[in-house]
Structure 1
Amino acid sequence: MKRKFLKPLAFIAFFSTFTAAHAEDSKVLTRTVLSSAGAKSLLNVAEADAKRRGMKVSIAIVDGSGRLLAFIRMDDSQSGTDETAIKKARTAALYQSRGKVLAERVSQNQAFLTTLPGITAVPGSAPVMSGQYVIGAVGVSGATDDLDDAVATNTAAAFQP
């Protein structure tokens, strides 16, 4: 009876080891990506939060590669906020960090960060996570740093894949 039980266990142990090693050597990765529906959902959450706070801002949602998926420039927002929101979102996605964290690092004598390609190290952006992976980001521009950051951070935190 013991032998009948041990053979399947040995097979399972061997197969598990093989698949784990195979996964490490794989030439193809499967990734979770932010869909357009997910981007629209994030945009709606951010816009509702901004309106509730009385803000007139631009909001950008990008995918994990920093490519724009959704955008709104709210009525009466400043004209320069559109590009800034997009740049903030791209920074959060590409460098996998909140803009506020990067801004703090720059102010702590890590100014070299400002030389990185495409970086906008100011508050108002947050990465969107699916498990441990950054699948997108939110960028908000047009209010104070604290308000922009609050909307971006709350929106990213509210995302449920």
Structure 2
Amino acid sequence: MSGAARARAETMESHPLTYPVGPRDGDAAPIDRVVALFSGAASAGPAAEAEADDWSASLTAVRGVAARVRGLQASARESVREAQHSVRAAETARRAAEDRARHAESLLRAALERAEQAEAQARAAAERAERAEAERTEARGWLRRMHECMVNEFGALSEAADQP
């Protein structure tokens, strides 16, 4: 239990306003006396009643209210501290998330650049392969024509040399 919560619990247990009790023996409750005291209703009654009032109970009630107000103020201060802590934690988490997002974006840009380079290299390799195939086809055609030419030109000579 936090210090403020403990103080609040102790304040609530030790003061008469926390667990109000109804009027005793026809007397007004202490809180009613406090309200009457500050609203001017106490002066409206006869002077004899004012002397019979138990002012110490009213003072106890005022002290109880003041203690409860102090407890509520402490609780409010604690709530503000906790809220500020939560705000700071959320801000830190937000900054960290933004940093991670920026890092992920830079990784994505680098990956896209590598992919574009790989595509360019693949296109260049495909073009080289097409050129190599075309050159191979051209070289085979040239060799076939050369073979035919040699057979046609030198075939007759070899036949003549074979005959005596």
TM-score (norm 2): 0.21
More strand per residue: 1
More helix per residue: 2
TM-score (norm 1): 0.21
